[in-house]
Amino acid sequence: MLKLKLATLLVITAALAVGCSSAAAAPTQGGTVNATVTDMKISVDRTNIPAGEVTFVVKNTGAVVHELVVLQTAAAQDKIAMDMDEAGKMDETGNVGETGDVNVGESKTFTITLPAGHYVLMCNEIGHYAAGMHMTFTVD
C-alpha cells in the first residue's frame, strides 16, 4: 500500500514537472532591436525589451567603421572604465555580445539571450566611446 502511494506521488510529481517545463518553454520573450551606428551616435528603435532572445540588427550609416557592443554592467552608461591596455578603448568587462566591425553602409545581426538587468550599448572603436557612442539599455 505504501509502495502504491509512493508510485502515485511520483507520477503526480512527474506530471507537475512536465507542466512546469512546458510553461517555461512557452513563448520566449525578447525581440528585435534595430540599431543605427553613425558618427558619433548610437540610435535604437527601443531602449528596453523583455528578457529572452534578443536580436540586434545594426546598420552603419556613418562614414567610418563602427560596431555595437552589449555590456551587462552595473556601471552607468557614461561611467564605463577605460581599457588600460589599449588607448582610446573601453574595458569590455560584461560583454555579452557584439557585432564586431561593421563597415560603412553595411549591417550586421547577432542574437543573444539576455536576462533582466541593466546594460550599456557602446561602440568601442578607438575614441568612439569618448565621442559619445554609448547609451543605457534595459532588459525587463
> Binding residue for Cu ion (CB under 5 A) from 44, 71, 122, 128?
128
Please say which residue, 54 or 133, places its beta carbon nearer to Cu ion: 133
Closest CB 133 distance from Cu ion, rounded Å:
5
CB 31 within 8 A of CB 55: yes
Nearest CB to Cu ion, comparing residues 98 and 125: 125
Task: Give the nearer residue to Cu ion in terms of CB position, either 30 or 62.
Answer: 62
**Could you write out the DSSP letters of every residue in 14-75?**
HHHHHHHHHHHTS----EEEEEEEETTEEEES-SEE-SEEEEEEEEE-SSS-B--EEEE-SS
Each residue 34-73 as x (binds Cu ion by CB under 5 A) or -, in order, gives: --------------------------------x-------
Q: Are 125 and 116 in contact (CB under 8 A)?
A: no
Helices (H), the chain: 2-24
Q: Residue number with the shortest CB distance to Cu ion?
A: 123
Is-cis flag, bond preceding 40, omega within 30?
Answer: yes
Query: Interface with Cu ion includes 98 (CB under 5 A)?
Result: no
Which residue stretch of 10-18, 77-85, 101-109, 132-140 sits at the interface with Cu ion (rule: CB under 5 A)?
A: 132-140
Tell me the one-letter amino acid at 101: D
Which residues contribute to the site for Cu ion (CB under 5 A)?
66, 123, 125, 128, 133
